[in-house]
């Protein structure tokens, strides 16, 4: 094909539909011949900055990689750190961690669905999803004190205990969400126009999905029942009754449905957690004992950090952790040389792993499918760039 017949379209970084990245599409008429994502526009060198910070200071830092999904990122890092330190959180703290992680998963999926809706033109879905994030952000705020950047999970436990009335409020928010999912079905998910736009678009089949290594809901929409919460259960996931949401189609609509299925699963998980959360301490005794007795946890709803936290020194070694963040498997790898700073900190975010899907899912699709597929991957550029 001669060069004049193709058109190189540079979508972004300043484009309403590109996010913080550039998409280079080689078009033949309306068909995409070649597609190359070009990222790095929001690269903040989290790995390098982490080498200059102490272990506890990194907690807010890892959250900044993915602001819609801070709890899971926080959890992943703290799990790796706890493995380095050789410490475990008490059971109640584990429950609270997963409670926050699942609340976060719901509002992160809503964020993704909203953006997806906007990308194919349904502003109603955008506004509804963003509005319905609010009850969950409010729940998380009452639990942690912040709307998005929770910094809630610390080595050895969590920072605050459940506030009063939380259980009732949460149950109300959950039944509200179940009601709203039906509204979404009517106006967006099963809207004939949405079906026309998403069905059979951006298909990643089972074999390709494993080969190119996409993660999270995108992988499960391609028929692979891989979920870290089941494969390598962490915290209290073994005690919770939930199912891995899988679909076989591998197209954009399947990815949307998997996310909705996961919201339903999260709702059921939060109900279980609220039902059987045990009483007890929320910080490991090893740290609690270091706090002056005046300010001990029993007398207040939040814990006091021991002075040790300003300079945690894990022993020399390495630790990896993987958790199922909202967008997929999140991998942390910590190398300690025995000092107060990590020697090397590696973080592979789910969006970075999903980036490769752009190259494969969009070949042979139409120009208008770019936002449809982009949205369905729930790709979050700052999370990929780190």
Partner 1 sequence: MTRVLLTKQNGLSITVDASKILETAHLLKNLKFDHVISVTATDYPEENRIDVIYHVSSFEDLELAKTILEIRTTVSRQEPNIHTLVAVWPSIEFLERETTDLMGINFGGREAMARLLLPEDFEGEPPLRKSYTIRTEGIDA
Partner 2 sequence: MKPKDRRAGKLLGLTGHMQAIRSGIEHIFKPRMTVLYPEVLQDLGPNYRGMLKLRIDICISCTLCARICPSNALKMVKVDVRKYPGITYQRCIFCGFCVDICPVDALEMSGSHDAACYTLGEQVLKPEDFSKDPVIEDKPRVKPLFDEKRGLRYESC
Partner 3 sequence: MNVVEQLLQILLSPTIIIPLIFPGLLTTFLVIIFIAWFERKLTAKVQLRYGPLYVLKSLGGLPQLVADLLKFLFTEIIIPKGSDKKAFILSPIFLFTLSMLPVVAIPLSNSYAAFFSDLSLLLVLALLTITPIFMLLLGWSSNNKFSFIGSLRDGYLMMAYEIPMFVSILAMAVAYDTLDLVQVVGRQSSGLWGIALNPLAAITFFVAMLMTTARFPFDVAEAESELVIGPYTEYSGIIFVLCLGASYAKLSVLSLFFAEVFLGGWNPLIWPLTLNPILPGVAVFVKGLLVMGLCVFMRSIYPRFRIDQVLKLGWHTLFVLSVASVALSLGIVWVLGF
User: Which residue ranges make up the site for partner 1 (CB under 8 A)?
Assistant: 38-40, 43, 45, 47-49, 52, 83, 209-213, 219, 224-226, 231-232, 319-320, 322, 329, 331, 333, 335, 343-344, 346, 348, 352-353, 355-356, 385
Contact partner, 88, from partner 1, partner 3, partner 2, none, Cβ < 5-8 Å per class: none
Contact partner, 371, from partner 2, partner 3, partner 1, none, Cβ < 5-8 Å per class: partner 3
> Smallest distance from the beta carbon of 225 to partner 1, in angstroms?
7
Q: Are 381 and 41 in contact (CB under 8 A)?
A: yes
> Smallest distance from the beta carbon of 102 to partner 2, in angstroms?
17
> Phi, psi at residue 45, to the nearest 5°?
55, 50
Interface with partner 3 includes 385 (CB under 8 A)? no
Q: How buried is 221 (Cβ within 10 angstroms: 0-12 exposed, 13-18 middle, 19+ buried)?
A: buried
3-state secondary structure (DSSP) of residue 157: strand
Alpha helices (H) along 89-191: 91-119, 123-144, 166-184
Cα separation, 362 vs 260, whole angstroms:
23
Cross-strand bridge partners of residue 6? none
- Chain residues in the site for partner 2 (CB under 8 A): 53-54, 56-61, 124, 131-132, 134-135, 138, 141-142, 144-146, 149, 151, 159-160, 163, 168-170, 172-173, 175-177, 179-180, 183, 185-187, 190-192, 195, 243-247, 257-258, 260-261, 264, 291-292, 295, 301-305, 307, 309-311
> Smallest distance from the beta carbon of 123 to partner 3, in angstroms?
7
**The two three-digit tokens of residue 253, written as one number:** 């609509």
Choice between 212 and 291, CB closer to partner 1: 212
- CB atoms near residue 46 (< 10 Å): 17
> Smallest distance from the beta carbon of 132 to partner 2, in angstroms?
6
E strand or H helix that includes residue 261: helix 252-276
Q: How buried is 302 (Cβ within 10 angstroms: 0-12 exposed, 13-18 middle, 19+ buried)?
A: middle
Choice between 176 and 343, CB closer to partner 2: 176
- CB atoms near residue 185 (< 10 Å): 12
Cα separation, 219 vs 231, whole angstroms:
14
Interface with partner 3 includes 17 (CB under 8 A)? yes
Contact partner, 40, from partner 2, partner 1, partner 3, none, Cβ < 5-8 Å per class: partner 1
Choice between 124 and 205, CB closer to partner 2: 124
Choice between 86 and 131, CB closer to partner 2: 131
User: Which residue, chain included where needed, has tokens 């079905």?
Assistant: 185
Q: How buried is 30 (Cβ within 10 angstroms: 0-12 exposed, 13-18 middle, 19+ buried)?
A: exposed
Residues that bind partner 3 (CB under 8 A): 7, 9, 15-17, 30, 117-125, 127-128, 131, 187-188, 191, 193-194, 196-197, 366-371
């Amino acid at each position: 094909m001669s060069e004049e017949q193709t058109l190189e379209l540079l979508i972004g970084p300043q484009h309403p539909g590109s996010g913080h990245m550039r998409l280079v599409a080689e078009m033949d008429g309306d068909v995409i011949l070649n597609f190359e994502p070009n990222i790095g526009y929001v690269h903040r060198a989290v790995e390098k900055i982490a080498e200059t910070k102490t272990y506890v200071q990194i907690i807010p830092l890892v959250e900044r990689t993915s602001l819609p999904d801070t709890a899971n990122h926080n959890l992943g890092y703290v799990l790796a750190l706890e493995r380095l330190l050789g410490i475990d959180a008490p059971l109640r703290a584990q429950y609270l961690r997963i409670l926050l992680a699942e609340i976060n998963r719901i509002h992160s999926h809503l964020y993704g669905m909203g953006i997806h809706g906007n990308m194919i033109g349904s502003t109603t879905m955008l506004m509804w999803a963003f509005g319905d994030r609010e009850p969950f952000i409010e729940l998380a705020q009452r639990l942690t004190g912040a709307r998005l950047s929770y910094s809630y999970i610390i080595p050895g436990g969590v920072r605050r205990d459940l506030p009063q009335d939380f259980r009732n409020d949460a149950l109300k928010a959950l039944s509200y969400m179940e009601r709203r999912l039906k509204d979404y079905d009517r106006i967006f998910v099963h809207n004939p126009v949405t079906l026309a736009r998403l069905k059979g678009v951006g298909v990643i089949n089972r074999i390709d999905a494993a080969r190119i290594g996409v993660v999270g809901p995108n992988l499960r929409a391609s028929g692979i029942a891989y979920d870290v919460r089941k494969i390598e259960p962490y915290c209290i996931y073994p005690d919770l009754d939930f199912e891995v949401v899988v679909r076989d189609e591998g197209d954009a609509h399947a990815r949307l449905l998997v996310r909705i299925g996961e919201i339903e699963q999260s709702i059921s998980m939060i109900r279980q957690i609220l039902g059987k959360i045990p009483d007890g301490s929320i910080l490991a005794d090893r740290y609690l004992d270091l706090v002056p007795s005046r300010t001990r946890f029993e007398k207040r709803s939040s814990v006091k950090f021991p002075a040790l936290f300003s300079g945690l020194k894990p022993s020399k070694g390495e630790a990896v952790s993987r958790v199922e963040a909202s967008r997929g498997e999140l991998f942390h790898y910590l190398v300690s040389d025995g000092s107060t700073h990590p020697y090397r900190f590696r973080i592979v975010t789910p969006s970075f792993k999903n980036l490769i899907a752009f190259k494969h899912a969009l070949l042979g699709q139409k120009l208008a499918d770019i936002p449809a597929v982009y949205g369905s991957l729930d790709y979050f550029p700052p999370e990929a760039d780190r």
